[in-house]
């Protein structure tokens, strides 16, 4: 790994979250999916504490730790307008007394809802870069950092989605928590976006025990996850050993598929657990598909890693239509 944060050469995290996150049983969801009552558990990484919670807090402890070691006073990052990572970068900056700048694609002409409301509340400066595509967005963020330096600031560029080998260390820790909390864990299921969450879990739990459900955030996530894992372990894991399901993307990142709709409603109505339409909804839809095709079997212990993202539900043009179903007249 090529980022080091202290004189010893080892990265060191800055505390931002509440650990360990709880693990709870999901007996009613398990029954609805055709699993036994004790077969399905949830790791509540939606309850990580900072800024509305979610998986990005674990990664930010490490990436922001590295930024502080470099003397940064401003955190700059990129993402989609409804990025949970951008919101939590702004929250980390607020917690630590730093400034935050969020560089988004496009012009910001859409609805300023969901995560964007929280970005503003947290005091982030939002730059609508006009960029379309990842390379242009990265270039826009580099230009923003250069401008901030000219103004006398000390910016640190936090990677897209918080994903780097350093950020993945947060999920190595999560895997270690899981081994303590669920010693008989057979399979952990998690949403796969920019890749470091799955990579950290694979590094600690091994490739056979982790299913990543691709959300379509990257063109081909397999080499990306494999590269992060290779940075974390002395021996690389062959990419073909990674268990990545690509069956829940539908017509693209962020689209509300029938599988996601069903995952959102069944999880809410059996367990009172709220998923988001982009990441965790896809992860449960992938878990349901894995039960159907025998990749996840009754009698084994499966853990769904809830990675947060609730604000995205309120920023999604189709998902907010769920509220219409709750209008009840004259019971």
Ligand X SMILES: Cc1ncc(COP(=O)(O)O)c(C=O)c1O
Catalytic residues, by residue number, are 83
> For ligand X, which residue has the nearest CB?
309
Question: Of 276, 281, 311, 319, which lies in the binding site for ligand X, with binding defined by CB under 6 A?
Answer: 276
Question: Of 279, 285, 296, 315, which lies in the binding site for ligand X, with binding defined by CB under 6 A?
Answer: 279
If the CB atoms of residues 92 and 191 are measured against ligand X, the closer one turns out to be 191
Question: Of 163, 164, 204, 267, which lies in the binding site for ligand X, with binding defined by CB under 6 A?
Answer: 163
Q: Which two tokens stand for residue 264?
A: 């959102």
CB of 153 to ligand X, least distance (A): 26
CB of 55 to ligand X, least distance (A): 5
Buried b (16+ CB within 10 A) or exposed e, 212-244: bbbbbbbeebbebbbebbbbbeeeebebeebbb
Question: Of 13, 161, 170, 286, which lies in the binding site for ligand X, with binding defined by CB under 6 A?
Answer: 161
If the CB atoms of residues 17 and 308 are measured against ligand X, the closer one turns out to be 308
Residues 184-223 close enough to bind ligand X by CB under 6 A: 191-198
C-alpha 311/C-alpha 277 separation (Å) is 10
Q: Judged by CB under 6 A, which stretch of 106-114, 132-140, 231-239, 275-283 contacts ligand X?
A: 275-283
If the CB atoms of residues 54 and 254 are measured against ligand X, the closer one turns out to be 54
If the CB atoms of residues 148 and 195 are measured against ligand X, the closer one turns out to be 195
Residues 290-329 close enough to bind ligand X by CB under 6 A: 307-309
If the CB atoms of residues 148 and 306 are measured against ligand X, the closer one turns out to be 306
CB of 278 to ligand X, least distance (A): 7
CB of 280 to ligand X, least distance (A): 6
Q: Residue 267, interface with ligand X (CB under 6 A)? A: no
CB of 144 to ligand X, least distance (A): 20
Residues 37-56 close enough to bind ligand X by CB under 6 A: 54-55
CB of 197 to ligand X, least distance (A): 3
CB of 191 to ligand X, least distance (A): 4
Mask of contacts with ligand X, 59-98, x by CB under 6 A?
-------------------------xx-------------
C-alpha 215/C-alpha 105 separation (Å) is 19
If the CB atoms of residues 201 and 290 are measured against ligand X, the closer one turns out to be 201
If the CB atoms of residues 77 and 148 are measured against ligand X, the closer one turns out to be 77
Q: What is the 3-state secondary structure (H, E, C) of the chain?
A: CCCCCCCCCCCCCCCCCCCCCCEEECHHHHHHHCCCCCCEEEEEHHHCCHHHCCCHHHHHHHHHHHHHHCCCCEEEEECCCCCHHHHHHHHHHHHHCCEEEEEECCCCCCCCCCHHHHHHHCCCEEEECCCCCHHHHHHHHHHHHHHHHHCCCCEEECCHHHCCHHHHHHHHHHHHHHHHHCCCEEEEEEEECCCHHHHHHHHHHCHHHEEEEECCCCCCHHHHHHHHHHHHCCCCCCHHHCEEECCCCCCCCCCCCHHHHHHHHHHHHHHCCCCCCCCHHHHHHHHHHHHHCCCCCCCCEEEEEECCCHHHHCCCCCHHHHHHHHCCCCC
The torsion angles phi and psi of 57, rounded to 5 degrees, stand at: -60, -40
Q: What is the binding site for ligand X (CB under 6 A)?
A: 54-55, 84-85, 161, 163, 191-198, 276, 279-280, 307-309
């Amino acid at each position: 790994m090529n980022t080091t944060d202290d004189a010893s050469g080892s990265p060191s995290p800055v505390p931002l979250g509440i650990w360990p996150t709880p693990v709870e049983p999901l007996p009613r969801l398990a029954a609805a999916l055709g699993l036994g009552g004790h077969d399905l558990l949830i790791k509540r990484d939606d309850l990580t504490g900072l800024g509305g919670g979610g998986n990005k807090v674990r990664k930010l402890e490490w990436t922001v730790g590295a930024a502080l070691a470099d003397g940064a006073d401003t955190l700059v990052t990129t993402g989609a307008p409804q990025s949970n990572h951008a919101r939590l970068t702004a929250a980390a900056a607020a917690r630590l007394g730093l400034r935050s700048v969020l560089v988004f694609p496009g012009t910001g002409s859409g609805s300023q809802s969901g995560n964007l409301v929280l970005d503003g509340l947290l005091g982030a400066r939002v730059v609508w870069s006009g960029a379309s595509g990842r390379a242009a967005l990265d270039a826009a963020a580099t230009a923003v950092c250069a401008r901030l330096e000219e103004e006398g600031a000390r910016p640190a560029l936090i990677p897209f989605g918080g994903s780097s080998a350093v950020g993945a260390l947060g999920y190595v820790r999560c895997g270690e928590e899981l081994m303590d909390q669920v010693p008989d864990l057979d399979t952990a299921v998690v949403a796969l976006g920019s890749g470091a969450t799955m990579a950290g879990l694979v590094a600690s739990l091994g490739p056979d025990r982790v299913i990543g459900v691709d959300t379509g955030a990257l063109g081909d996530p397999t080499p990306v996850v494999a590269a992060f894992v290779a940075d974390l372990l002395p021996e690389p894991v062959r990419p073909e050993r990674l268990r990545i399901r690509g069956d829940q993307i539908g017509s693209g990142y962020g689209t509300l598929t029938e599988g996601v709709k069903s995952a959102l409603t069944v999880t809410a109505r059996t367990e009172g657990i709220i998923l988001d339409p982009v990441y965790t909804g896809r992860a449960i839809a992938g878990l349901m598909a894995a039960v159907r095709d025998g990749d996840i079997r009754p009698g084994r212990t499966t853990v769904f890693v809830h990675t947060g993202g609730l604000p995205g539900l309120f920023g999604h043009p189709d998902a907010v239509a769920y509220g219409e179903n709750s209008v009840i007249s004259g019971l």
